[in-house]
């Protein structure tokens, strides 16, 4: 698993993504708190991230990058709608992570086939596996 600094970086990236619309909606905040708890980051540290970014740490393993992409995808769809800006930003984040552009595009396309645009993790993993083979 990631180091504590990597966990803070993961959360900081997610917070920045949620702030695309200038404010974080309650549903997004609740989701971020849940991710924070799963990562073992306490509420005080999480609240500090809302006001200051931490140094970006590059996730080393490909699976960690895919999991982070999935978290961002879930965050984008938490309010059951996406803006073109959010989709473009998520696509660019995926590219910066080194994920295959065709896999990113496929995930963003198939998400509309699932309730609330929530791509099951197995489907997401299978898409990335297919693009790595």
Q: Dump the DSSP string for 17-51.
A: HHGGGSS--HHHHHHHHHHHHHHT--HHHHHHHTT
- Residue located via tokens 């949620």: 18
pTM for the predicted model, two decimal places: 0.90
User: Where does the pLDDT of residue 12 fall: very low under 50, low under 70, confident under 90, or very high at 90 and above?
Assistant: very high
Query: What is the span of the domain harbouring residue 95?
Result: 4-132
Q: What is the pLDDT of residues 60-71, one digit of tens each?
A: 899 999 999 999
Q: How many domains does the chain have?
A: 1
């Amino acid at each position: 698993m990631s180091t504590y600094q990597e966990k803070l970086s993961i959360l900081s990236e997610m917070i920045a993504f949620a702030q695309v619309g200038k404010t974080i909606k309650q549903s997004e905040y609740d989701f971020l708190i849940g991710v924070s708890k799963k990562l073992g980051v306490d509420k005080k540290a999480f609240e500090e991230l809302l006001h200051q970014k931490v140094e970006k740490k590059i996730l080393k393993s490909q699976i960690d990058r895919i999991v982070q992409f999935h978290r961002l995808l879930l965050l984008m769809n938490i309010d059951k709608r996406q803006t073109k800006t959010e989709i473009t930003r998520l696509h660019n984040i995926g590219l910066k992570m080194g994920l295959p552009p065709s896999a990113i595009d496929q995930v963003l396309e198939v998400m509309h086939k699932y309730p609330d645009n929530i791509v099951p993790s197995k489907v997401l993993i299978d898409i990335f596996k297919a693009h790595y083979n």
